[in-house]
Structure 1
Amino acid sequence: MGAGAVASSGTTLAYGHLLDPNRKWYNNRRIIYLNAWIVLLLITSSTNGYDGSMMNGLQSLPQWKDYFGSPTGSKLGLLNAIQNIGSLAAYPFAPYLSDGMGRRFAVFFGATIMVVATAVQTASQNVGMFIGARFLIGFGLTFAANAAPMLVTEVSYPTYRGQLTSTYNSLWYSGAIVAAWTTFGTFKVNSTWAWRIPSALQALPSVLQVCLIWFCPESPRWLVSKGRDAQALKTLAYYHADGNDQDPLVQYEYNEIKAAIDFDRTVAANVGWKSLFTTTGNLKRLRIIVALAFFSQWSGNGLVSYYLNKVFDVIGITDPTIQLLINGILQIWNLFWALLASALVDKIGRRILFISSCIGMIVFFTLQTACTAHFANTGDEGAAHAVIAFIFLFYASYDLAFTPLIVSYTVEILPFAIRAKGFTVFNFAISLSLIFNQYVNPVALDAIGWKYYIVYCCWLCFELVYVYFFIVETKNRTLEETAALFDGEDAVQHVAGAAHPGALSPTDEKSSGSFHEQHELSKA
């Protein structure tokens, strides 16, 4: 393989000819084990989704409102925003824990804090105790959410990496579904357990992680960065090639990882916080990931995610049972579309999904705004029902890209040396956008009602223009190839040449023999 082919040819000319066509996720025991451990990491996102949906549901529970004095306005905004304030407090430490102690330790540390915090939240005796517990949940979640998706993308079998990493954020809705239907189910409980039960269940994913995380494989890239090359090679071989450390695919991955990490350390000086703002490639990355972070929360979805009851109040749907029921159905709808998009990321591509998502959101949010305005002026129940339909269609569009891709796209365009730090910047930007949303949205809805929607209609048009010009297609590339797209031809040639000095060029590939012939040759 020629050096220049790495960044331009995708799977076919990169590692595609090294893959055993008979090694699939459903018929290979080691890949099944690996994917089971990856599921343990993916449920980190479920905790986050559970929180947003739970807070939505609690606002419709009279038992919760009565116990905490029916919070409104800025007090309600604080109850929702405090988790993200807790996340902000942990951001300075999360990347150092992930890079210093390892991905698994960071997940364990964060999950442990969340278990303790949810116990305090469940036992809350006053609003101050409830707010403090939610602060701790956000603090712990930052450590787990920083490390988990990076470990998923760094340990996955190559052909499933894009789909699995995209599934991470999609499972936000799995937590949302459990929370929505739990609050719906406890609605009839005539005591504080109507909200304490949903609070307690929030700890379940974290409990599983505390108990099982040390059985999960550590990132081969992190192991190489710490000089533990033999363990990294053993991990790759065990899960990607049934234990054969001379397998062509394993050797390709191992050498490419070593070359890329070496390049970042010695050639590009692409390490540390400063490099995020000083190199051309990293500035391009930063421009994309910060924009995606804000777009993911400022697309109008924040209105429904945290203040669905207020949206329904505007269109005359005030029955708590109906609100909770629609919320539960909406989360199932969201999960379906997000998982569908996750399965298609390597077939359709990231760029097409982002552009299609923006177009759909513009159309359906505009129609939602028009119908809300019509109801406000006429009281037409048909317009209210249309608003609900357009909310569902809006979310189907949103879920095509801004649920599955924002995390996976961020971690795959960042090179290993700054992946944890760059991902922290991404999460920091999300927290800033969420805090703004959670404070401003309830105040704006109370003040100007449906007219506030017009702001989002205009912003969505800007999002479409931005993703059209700046999103780079990355489908069917290894992590190292994707990172090299932003760093220029020198990075491409160094990584390819250093990792595979004797690799075949594309023109020699036809004469190289089948996978099985190469496999036998490597063993010999």
Structure 2
Amino acid sequence: MGKGYNARIAANPYIVGSFACIGGGLFGLDISSMSAVLSNDAYSRVFHRPGPNAQGAIVASMPAGSLVGALAVTFLADRIGRKKTIILAGIIWVIGSILQCASVNRGMLVVGRIIAGMSVGISSAIVPIYQSEITAPAIRGRMVSLQQWSITWGILIQYFIAFGCSYIDGVASFRIPWGLQMIPAIILSVGMLFFPESPRWLFDQGREDEARQILADLHGDGNLDNELVVLEYEEIKQQVYFERTEGAKSYVDLIKPGVFRRVVLGSSLQMWSQLSGMNIMMYYIIYVFQGAGLTGRRGNLIADSIQYVLNVLLTVPAIIYIDKWGRRPMLLIGTLLMGFWLMLVGGLQGRFGHWGTVDGSRIWVIENNDSATKAIIVCSYLFVCSFAITMGPVSWTYPAEIFPMKVRGKAVSIATATNWLFNFALAWAVPPGLSTIAYKTYFIFGTFNFAAFIHIFFMFPETKQRTLEEVEEIFAQGHVFAAWKVSKDVGKKTLAEVAGQNKGKETNSVDEKASH
């Protein structure tokens, strides 16, 4: 492609976009690498049986590092490019994994998780940007939503590895899974060497011929005159020329009229995805099922694995149909369903549970009530299914497509940093919460989902099947508190219109130079 990218495999947008998703899978690996060891005796011995607050701090150290990594993308994405930033994320993950695998105390484990978290923060911010900039509008939602699917696969694969290793006596039972998680990162960093850079970033760097060739290879079978390729090239050209007249890129641009609203939308969506309660069901599902009365380590691990399988399977329909269903309907339906299931879990726990002791820890538990236990497990499964098919994929897709290119790297990293900020807070707060206010924790997250529904209904416009440049017109139209009024035809342009606008801009630019 362009210079040296002649292999057909590197010219397939599905392969290019999906391979980058390995970066998202790193987050999934971390989630289940911790959730699977919570009932591991060797882990408890080596790290001195951490209580609710200490365990929360260990788990939260990863999103703390991710917050730093996501913010670093504001610099890295524009300075060294999307591709090299993804490669860097893989290298950092390997370093963090080595420290975790070799850790002999809580301090070393936390440092390793912080470093690995930096990698996850970088990749979770840069991969959606990269995907959105190398895919055509008709499949962009599908490709970016693969980020969420890769997370679910990372959770599932690592969980079964940890599950199998749990039958090994001694520290190898958790060190082997933590060591094996280096392999995907190595594959990511090496593999990305053979894939193209973002054409939008290249154009912004003045490498216009390279950008056009990559667009042709990705979307026109190498034909520079393909109508879609010409249209995308002209729209990128128009947008870049416009943004160059606006001055240098800076954080001040994020609070300018028209941009700040989108920063708030992207950040709040990432916030709602965390406040939905999915953290409880991923990081601490063992605690949830213990409280429901599911006893026995083997039975608990099997029940957990079913949830992770459902998470993978139910993400598939969202990937296939996200560009048909639209972002708004998926978010609205998802938040309502998730709030409903969490309220049911909290109600069942409150009605049939009581304070008790499980494995030496104080916990709100249901005992000798198989019906209530099964009902809570089913509601937990349905909650995860609801997240997987709605909020999960859209929470990564929407922020990646609503920002102008001038601030896209900074804005998406801010939105992703918001995700990790709330992930950090909740990862630390949930264990103490379950051990103090118990079932009321579910009511809190259920209420968050209903609040998200109201926010999304009034303020989130639909963006499906629009080019990144057409999204500009959607937000230029207004409707700040009436998102449902945005017309389906807003921003739609023909090739002739785009070319005409560019010609006018270039003419004006020449006239300005002549006048000086």
Which category describes the TM-score, using the shorter chain as reference length?
0.7 to 0.9
Indicate conservation of the 8 Å contact 1:121/1:134, yes or no.
yes
- CA shift, 1:413, in A, is 0.6
Residue correspondence of structure 1 range 486-505 to structure 2 within 5 A? 486-488=475-477, 499-501=498-500
1:502–1:306 CA distance, 2 compared to 1 (3 A): closer
Provide the rounded CA distance (Å) in 1 between the counterparts of 2:60 and 2:434.
17
Residue correspondence of structure 1 range 25-424 to structure 2 within 5 A? 33-267=12-246, 271-279=249-257, 281-376=258-353, 379=367, 380-424=369-413
Letter in 2 for 1:218: E
Indicate conservation of the 8 Å contact 1:78/1:439, yes or no.
yes
Indicate conservation of the 8 Å contact 1:412/1:483, yes or no.
no
Indicate conservation of the 8 Å contact 1:258/1:499, yes or no.
no
- CA shift, 1:270, in A, is 8.6
| Aligned CA-pair RMSD | 2.2
- CA shift, 1:499, in A, is 3.2
1:451–1:81 CA distance, 2 compared to 1 (3 A): same
Indicate conservation of the 8 Å contact 1:276/1:422, yes or no.
yes
1:213–1:144 CA distance, 2 compared to 1 (3 A): same
Q: How many residues are paired up?
A: 473
Provide the rounded CA distance (Å) in 1 between the counterparts of 2:251 and 2:498.
26
Match of 2:417 in 1: 428
- CA shift, 1:87, in A, is 2.0
Provide the rounded CA distance (Å) in 2 between the counterparts of 1:133 and 1:502.
52
Deviations for 1:422-457, whole angstroms, at most 9, x for unmatched residues?
A: 111111111111121012111111112112222122
- CA shift, 1:73, in A, is 2.1
Letter in 1 for 2:332: I
Deviations for 1:452-481, whole angstroms, at most 9, x for unmatched residues?
A: 222122222211111111111111111111
Provide the rounded CA distance (Å) in 2 between the counterparts of 1:461 and 1:331.
25
1:249–1:495 CA distance, 2 compared to 1 (3 A): closer
The DSSP-based 3-state class of the residue aligned with 1:259 is helix
Deviations for 1:332-367, whole angstroms, at most 9, x for unmatched residues?
A: 101111121121111111111111101211221111
Indicate conservation of the 8 Å contact 1:121/1:199, yes or no.
yes
The DSSP-based 3-state class of the residue aligned with 2:234 is helix
Indicate conservation of the 8 Å contact 1:60/1:324, yes or no.
no
- Greater than 4 Å deviation, 4+ residue runs: 28-32, 491-498
- CA shift, 1:495, in A, is 11
The DSSP-based 3-state class of the residue aligned with 1:211 is helix
Provide the rounded CA distance (Å) in 1 between the counterparts of 2:189 and 2:446.
43
Indicate the percent of aligned positions where both proteins have the same amino acid: 26
Deviations for 1:373-426, whole angstroms, at most 9, x for unmatched residues?
A: 233057322101110000011111112222101111101011111111111111
Indicate conservation of the 8 Å contact 1:365/1:390, yes or no.
yes
Letter in 2 for 1:216: F
The DSSP-based 3-state class of the residue aligned with 1:104 is helix
Indicate conservation of the 8 Å contact 1:112/1:206, yes or no.
yes
TM-score, normalising length from structure 2?
0.87
- CA shift, 1:492, in A, is 5.5
TM-score, normalising length from structure 1?
0.86
Provide the rounded CA distance (Å) in 2 between the counterparts of 1:193 and 1:455.
38
- CA shift, 1:181, in A, is 0.8
Deviations for 1:148-169, whole angstroms, at most 9, x for unmatched residues?
A: 2211111124432211111112
Provide the rounded CA distance (Å) in 2 between the counterparts of 1:502 and 1:427.
34
Provide the rounded CA distance (Å) in 1 between the counterparts of 2:496 and 2:266.
29
Provide the rounded CA distance (Å) in 2 between the counterparts of 1:494 and 1:32.
26
Q: What stretches of structure 1 of length at least 5 have no aligned partner? A: 1-27, 504-524
The DSSP-based 3-state class of the residue aligned with 2:245 is helix
- CA shift, 1:498, in A, is 7.4
Letter in 2 for 1:125: V
Provide the rounded CA distance (Å) in 2 between the counterparts of 1:487 and 1:272.
21
Q: What stretches of structure 2 of length at least 5 have no aligned partner? A: 1-6, 355-365, 479-489, 503-516
